[in-house]
Amino acid sequence: MNEHEFMRHLIDHRPVVVTEIRSKSGSPTFRRSVHFSLDAAEKVLQRAERRGLKAEMFICRLVPVTMGRRSEEAA
């Protein structure tokens, strides 16, 4: 298995948690982060909520997308 295949195997359809933290002022400013652990995402939400920020989490699935050919594959 080459490095590209290994990375694809690691992330192929893996569930992740995306957290979204909105600014306190109500402006459309927000920060999104991707977490591979539900525990880590929950800690981010708890810290944001303690600071009085609106925080949400979304469970997503990663799907690899190959763009063009890599130089090793072209040879």
Cβ(71)–Cβ(61) under 8 Å? no
Cβ(1)–Cβ(38) under 8 Å? no
Cβ(12)–Cβ(64) under 8 Å? yes
* CB neighbour list of residue 49: distance below 8 Å, 6 or more residues apart: 55
Cα–Cα distance between 37 and 11 in angstroms, integer?
13
Please check the confidence at residue 62 and state whether its pLDDT lies above 60.
yes
Looking at residue 3, its pLDDT comes to 79
Please check the confidence at residue 73 and state whether its pLDDT lies above 80.
no
Looking at residue 45, its pLDDT comes to 95
The model's pTM = 0.65
- DSSP-derived 3-state class of residue 53: coil
